[in-house]
Chains A and B, each alone.
Chain A
Amino acid sequence: MWAARRMASTISASSPALTFELVARCSTTRARASVLTLPHGPVPLPIFMPVATQASLKGLTPEQLEGTGCRLCLNNTYHLGLKPGQEVLDAVGGAHKLQGWKHNILTDSGGFQMVSLLKLANITEQGVRFLSPHDGTPMLLTPEHSISLQNSIGSDIIMQLDDVLVTTSPDKARMREAMERSVRWLDRCIAAHKHPDRQNLFCIIQGGLDLDMRRECCREMLARDTPGIAIGGLSGGEAKDDFCKVVAACTELLPDLKPRYVMGIGYPEDLVVSVALGADMFDCVWPTRTARFGNAITKHGVLNMKRELYAADFGPIEDGCGCPCCRPAEEEGAMGITRAFVHHNAAKETVAAHLLTLHNVWYQLSLMRQAREAIIADRFPDFVREFFRNLYPERSSYPAWAVTALKGVGIDLLET
């Protein structure tokens, strides 16, 4: 089913609803630049995917989101299952049509929300049992339900239902059970999937922080030959060192010609390190959520626009940023937004949240664009060094986990 072919400089592979083309590889690290072609168009990788939970990216119009260069965003199955619900999705003709989004959508399985939102979820072989948050009625989400919903949503990438467990759980037996169950559930998801010709089902590698279990899971999942692979269960409060080890252990085993998605990752330094470790796709609500708390992500760190410091600061949110907020007002399509204006309306008018959301999404996408360009030009290690130089004024304050993880793939951040 996987047809790999070598061309002059690129190699690619395709499955019924996806083509993965490896454009370049970093000669030092495991970083890769590629093009993922999905039913709604090509997506350059590595990529950050902003999260439009309820079919809307927190106040941005689909047109504004498109303007940031975003070609693949997330919707959450759990939320769309509640509102507007499967019947409406079927009647409207899927999530693309619902939200007027011409580009690609990825949906999660809904399992993570069951665990993160509903503390009383109970996982059995059948599926995730949980008490309705409203009246305590017992409910059940099975792999078949999840896939059926995702088929109705019509997303370009759909995720298997997995047995999510906090990575820090000390219960080894339970962790193994979760990993093995995730594999069994993948089989049920594949069987239930009605549109493999236009929707790509990705598997999710589980196994907590136990690298051997992760490797075992990789082998099992790879045997099922899904069009893409996700590394799940991370970003749940584990140490960053452990996180990096898991990503590195998985990417080592994964085939070159499939996209690799690390779920729930979003801090800029996490993205840069994960790209160095060989991951391609990331999603996180943090950039858009923090925008609503008045925070702007910049290459020098996160700035809280609500601070008095910015009340009379008439510079852009970030100097040199290319987003529609920050570019000078004289430029075509630019707004000429100042920090003072964001400060003036932060937490008072929704517009301030929209502007920071726009800026932060732009920042994340642009960071990944720059990483991609650096990989293609084979100067990715320099890009990583510059990124950390901008973020931390002192070399001594570089986070140890990042230094260690990068050293493992051939970049010495502390080298002079």
Chain B
Amino acid sequence: MTVDIPDGDQEAMRFEILGSVLKDGAAARLGRLTLPGRRPIDTPNFVGVTSRGVLPHLTPDNVSKHLQVSSAYMALEDFIEKPQQYSKRVPPIFSTPTTTKQGTPLHSFTAMPPSVTTILSARRLPAVPPPNGNTNDSISVFTSTGFQVLPTKEYLSAVQTLKPDIAIPPADLTHGPVAPNSKRALRMAERTDEWVVEWFSSLSRSSSSPQSTFAPVLPISHSIQWEYLARLAEDYLPSSQLHGLAFYDADVLPDIAAHTPSLVQLPLLSLLASQIQSQTQTPHHILRQISLGIDLFAIPFVNAASDAGLALTFRFPPPPHTTTTNGPLLPLATDLSLPESNNTTSLAPLAEDCTCYTCTSHHRAYVHHLLSAREMLGWTLLQVHNHAVMAAFFAGVRAALAEVEGGNDKFEVLRKEFALAYEPDFPEGMAQRPRARGYQYKSAGGGEGKRNKPAWGKLGGAGVDVDGNGEAGISRGGAEETTGGMANGEGAYARDLEGRGFAQVQN
């Protein structure tokens, strides 16, 4: 059950399936993915989702010290913007020098710790749907300076320059909230097929390209993309050019296992095709996909939860007493911005028994304070905790899968218990978010409304920022501005002042 690519090459990716519920077909499985120079990844596991090359709010030193993240998803569209005044410039990332510690330009540019495996795709996760769609030889990407056409050939050459550990070839995706009609779906399959053929033929002509290719599986039915998938199995698997699959819809997996079982021996990565999917994804979905056989998950909800002031609280297996009693369902996360459950003064960790930096060095009261004061550290501490919860969750999943040998399907039993113990969805998260920037969060359908209160308003009107204390000039002596992040926030309230040491004048 080992796929060595290619045989005997020291510089190759290795994927071993260590145990599986079924010998063949789609089923939950335990594995280990080893890439040269990186920390081996025990699967099932998760992939950290970066924005502009960083795990949001986490400096590289915090990533090395406090995060058990073994891989990072990066998007080329985050690095190739064309500022208006410098529209002719070559994106700086392509000229990044490498060092002995940082052997690839992508690692070197982003200062990503060397133990972390990088996965490069063209689009962010979740991707903003482009208004113009793709053409026969290019895809539409969304950079910080706007939509841009990225020829598939340029993407390939970018991959060859940047040398990510794992690259995902371009896929013809709509990224929209609705599924494409059958005509569009057919064209998606044809174009992706052509692009993947082009990808592999160019790669085979180039001299050295140590990175691994995870071919995209489209979010359309198997019957429409079977020719493409058959080609992957017949042409590129035997030639050892294909190293894994990247699913934009994991539900295609059972059909692939039935028709082209050889493909399922590869490491399988789950991505999300649309913003709606990423907003509704929960650990329940992840567990279901694990039972289908997915090995790696890029999970945008971790970053989103931190931005929303949510501390993830679920674990796998669920706490034992919860499934036997008919009590209320456990929440998947707690909203630390709310004053409830003594968040304001509690010295307890964010989640019971959590061993992350945030939970061992800090407490709920501090994170609550930071969120309410909109201090950036709040999001940093939540990111550390939320990534630790994901790491522990997947460790729990792997431990359950390791017990399969006895014949009984421990993982499936615990998965059902998890479904009974926890609420189906995340709480919404009432905290003020970090300042959202247009290139990250583009309205998908319109009418979403604003998350945060306006920072500036008419004098005397609602939402006026009253303690924006003059950023420039002579305001050097006092305090740092009180508003969160790089944006401004709400002001001080009289009712806050009262009884907190500031007396109200008795008239």
Contact surface of A with B, Cβ cutoff 8 Å: 51-64, 76, 78-79, 81-88, 91-92, 97-100, 108, 112-113, 116-117, 129, 132-142, 145-146, 148-149, 152, 234-237, 263-264, 266, 284-286, 288-289, 292, 308, 311-312, 314, 324, 328-330, 333, 335-338, 340-341, 343-345, 347-351, 353-355, 358
Contacts and interface: CB of A to CB of B under 8 A. Distances in A.
Contact of A56 (B58, B363, B375, B467): B375
B478 to A, nearest CB: 5
A308 B501 contact: no
Given A64-B62, A98-B365, A116 B478 contact: yes
A148 B500 CA distance: 10
Given A99-B366, A329-B102, A349 B54 contact: yes
A53 B102 contact: no
Interface of B: 51-54, 56-62, 79, 83, 85-86, 89, 92-93, 95-97, 99-102, 108-111, 144, 344-345, 347, 357, 361-363, 365-366, 368-370, 372-373, 375-381, 434, 437, 466-467, 469-471, 474-482, 485-486, 491-505, 507
Given A87-B499, A133-B466, A330-B101, A54 B53 contact: no
Contact of B345 (A54, A91, A314): A91
Given A81-B500, A139-B497, A349-B54, A59 B377 contact: yes
A359 B97 CA distance: 22
B369 A329 contact: no
A132 B497 contact: yes
B437 A348 contact: yes
Contact of B478 (A63, A112, A347): A112
A341 B507 CA distance: 57
Contact of A285 (B58, B344, B370, B478): B478
A53 B366 contact: no
- Chain B's interface: helix, strand, loop or mixed, by majority? loop
Given A132-B492, A266-B476, A98 B379 contact: no
A235 B476 CA distance: 7
Nearest to B58: A351
Given A53-B479, A354-B59, A59 B497 contact: no
Contact of A53 (B58, B372, B480, B496): B480
Which of B99, B479, B481 has the most chain A CB within a 10 Å cutoff? B479
A393 to B, nearest CB: 25
A224 B443 CA distance: 63
Contact of A347 (B479, B486, B497): B486
B456 to A, nearest CB: 14
A271 to B, nearest CB: 13
Nearest to A116: B478
Contacts, number: 270
Given A308-B86, A312-B92, 20 more contacts: A53-B479, A54-B370, A58-B376, A58-B377, A61-B62, A64-B61, A79-B482, A132-B493, A133-B491, A134-B493, A152-B501, A236-B474, A263-B477, A264-B478, A329-B111, A336-B108, A345-B53, A349-B51, A350-B434, A350-B486
Contacts of A354: 57, 59, 376, 380
Given A145-B502, A145-B503, A134 B478 contact: no
A286 B361 CA distance: 28
Contact of B496 (A83, A97, A289, A312): A83
For the complex of A and B, the 4 pairs showing the least CB-CB separation, nearest first, are A264-B477, A132-B494, A85-B500, A133-B466
A97 B369 CA distance: 13
B380 A98 contact: no
Contacts of A137: 494, 497, 504
A292 B57 CA distance: 13
Contact of B467 (A59, A63, A117, A344): A117
A348 B441 CA distance: 13
B370 A82 contact: no
A340 to B, nearest CB: 5
A292 B486 contact: yes
Contact of A289 (B102, B480, B501): B480
A381 B334 CA distance: 57
B469 A324 contact: no
A308 B375 contact: no
A84 B502 contact: no
A348 B505 contact: no
A338 B89 contact: no
19 contacts: A54-B373, A54-B480, A55-B375, A59-B57, A81-B497, A83-B496, A86-B499, A87-B500, A97-B347, A132-B493, A140-B502, A234-B477, A235-B476, A292-B486, A329-B111, A336-B111, A341-B110, A344-B52, A350-B379
